[in-house]
């Protein structure tokens, strides 16, 4: 394991509890429904879920576009086993790959769209930079990116609640989320049409939604 790796709930022993905790603390159903709507997957498209965790978003993508070809990547074999069990139980044929986001085990230009939820705040700034470059590489020209993750909450008490996340997952990796500057990584890497949409207030802070496109001519 990478020394910087931060598991889903920081401690591997908490991984089996992940789905229950995230469901209420991040308004998961509403948040992931919005990501699916923004990604707008179509039958026949190839879609990546980066840092897929237990596979909940893959299930929602499959429901929205049953004919899409879905791939989930995550560094943690324990959580990928949970994702495998969930997708198989739901009859969803997603490809689940172990891998690090800063060196994706995938060829270039192999996805029409990529999504990622609650993942980037697990990465240190240098890993965020490298990961965004990898997303640019694996998306086809014109490919779409949708990211949902913690941002800077408007209300002071929500910014206070975000400290619970930061205490658990770490401060250096969440600093740019507390500052609301995640979009900068996308712009610096060369994504275009980068937009930050209306945030979703959640019990543990506020979720930002970022959409971006790989330039048609890279």
Contact residues: ligand SAM, CB under 6 A? 5-8, 22, 51-53, 56-57, 74-76, 79, 100-101, 117-119, 122-123, 127
- Least separation in angstroms between residue 150's CB and ligand SAM is 10
Least Å distance between CB 83 and ligand SAM? 9
192-202: strand order across its sheet = 95-98, 69-74, 46-50, 111-117, 139-150, 205-213, 192-202
Q: Which CB atom, from 26 or from 69, has the smaller least distance to ligand SAM?
A: 26
- Token readout for 74 is 């995550």
Closest separation in Å from C-beta 217 to ligand SAM: 29
CB nearer to ligand SAM: pick between 12 and 217: 12
At its nearest, how many Å lie between ligand SAM and the CB of residue 216? Answer: 28
Of 68 and 123, nearer to ligand SAM (C-beta) is 123
- Nearest approach in angstroms of CB 24 to ligand SAM is 13
Closer residue to ligand SAM, CB minimum distance, 122 or 144: 122
Query: Closest Cα to residue 184, out of 173, 172, 194, 198?
Result: 194
Task: Tell me the closest approach of the beta carbon of residue 210 to ligand SAM, in angstroms.
Answer: 14
Please report, in angstroms and rounded to a whole number, the separation of the first and last CA atoms in the chain. Answer: 33
Checking 74-81 for CB contacts under 8 A at 24+ apart, the result is 74/98, 74/99, 75/1, 75/2, 75/5, 75/51, 75/99, 75/100, 75/101, 76/5, 76/7, 76/8, 76/12, 76/15, 78/7, 78/12, 78/15, 79/7, 79/8, 79/15, 79/18, 79/53, 79/54, 80/52
Residues linked to residue 73 through DSSP beta bridges, in sequence order? 50, 97
Name the closest residue to ligand SAM (Cβ): 53
**Nearer CB in complex with ligand SAM: 75/216:** 75
Question: Phi/psi at 50 (nearest 5 deg)?
Answer: -90, 130
Q: Nearer Cβ to ligand SAM, position 87 or 101?
A: 101
């Amino acid at each position: 394991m990478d020394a910087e790796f931060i598991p889903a709930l920081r401690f591997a022993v908490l991984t089996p509890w992940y789905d229950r905790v995230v469901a209420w603390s991040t308004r998961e159903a509403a948040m992931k429904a919005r990501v699916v709507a923004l990604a707008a997957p179509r039958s026949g498209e190839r879609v990546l879920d980066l840092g897929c965790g237990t596979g909940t978003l893959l299930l929602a993508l499959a429901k929205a576009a049953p004919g899409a070809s879905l791939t989930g990547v995550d560094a943690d074999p324990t959580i990928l086993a949970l994702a495998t069990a969930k997708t198989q139980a739901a009859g969803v044929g997603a490809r689940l790959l172990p891998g690090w986001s800063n060196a994706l085990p995938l060829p270039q230009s192999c996805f029409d769209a990529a999504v990622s939820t609650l993942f980037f705040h697990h990465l240190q700034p240098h890993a965020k930079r490298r990961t965004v470059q990898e997303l640019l590489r694996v998306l086809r020209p014109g490919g779409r990116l949708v990211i949902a993750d913690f941002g800077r909450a408007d209300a002071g008490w929500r910014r206070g609640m975000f400290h619970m996340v930061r205490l658990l997952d770490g401060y250096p990796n969440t600093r740019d989320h507390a500052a609301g500057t995640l979009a900068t990584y996308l712009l610096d890497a060369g994504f275009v049409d980068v937009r930050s949409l209306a945030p979703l207030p959640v019990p543990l802070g506020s979720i930002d939604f970022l959409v971006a496109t790989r330039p048609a001519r890279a």
